[in-house]
Amino acid sequence: QSVLTQPPSASGTPGQRVTISCSGSSSNIGSNTVNWYQQLPGTAPKLLIYSNNQRPSGVPDRFSGSKSGTSASLAISGLQSEDEANYYCAAWDDSLNVVLFGGGTKLTVL
Amino acid sequence: EVQLVESGGGLVQPGGSLRLSCVASGFTFTSYWMHWVRQGPGKGLVWVSRINSDGRSTNYADSVKGRFTISRDNAKNTLYLQMNSLRAEDTAVYYCARDPTVTGIDYWGQGTLVTVSS
């Protein structure tokens, strides 16, 4: 039921800005808010962005989120080696009555 | 400190059953919806089920509907996942997660591994 589409991989060099996209439809991203999660290797996921563009306390302002129509994006500026992780978008789907996760994007810091 | 501690995972044969538990502490359990999310080996996150704060409303992914049952005991601050008719494709780390409803899932446990194999 993964109908949120993310690129499988992304990369950047330290200090660069990278963006990760998440494409959905009118029944999920188009009508509900989007969350982003970061999963470092071997650990549980961690909330990075909620309600499209809000950062929980403790999340650096290098991380930002946006949403337009049926797509959302996560931007990471000033890329650091510790940002190397898998990133997932998520949204509720009104038609399926399920939480959808994107397939995940593996970010590599070169 | 918020804690979600899962237990109950292990090795089970195809067709078998297992019950996962998740003990919550450090927050008001009754104020949160709760979810189970799983992650197969080397795979992405897949939502399994959620339950509202009083336990009266539940939702399931199609892949587990009719086989898995989510429940909670608010007196014990504990979330459960009863898994029946297990299949090899159910092999995964199962995460318990809390949801204040305003933000969606905001905190995850460390997970418990379920392996379905003969």
List, for chain A, all residue ranges whose pLDDT scores fall below the cut of 50.
Answer: none
How far apart are the CA of A97 and the nearest CA of chain B, in angstroms? 7
Per-residue model confidence (pLDDT) at position A2: 57
Residue B39: name the closest of A3, A104, A34, A8 by CA: A104
CB contact under 8 A, B47 and A100: yes
- B30 phi/psi in degrees, rounded to 5: -70, -10
pLDDT, tens only, B49-102: 999 999 999 999 999 999 999 999 999 999 999 999 999 999 999 999 999 988
Q: Which of B2, B4, B47, B106 to mutate to test the interface with A (most CBs of A within 10 A)?
A: B47
Rounded mean pLDDT of chain B? 97
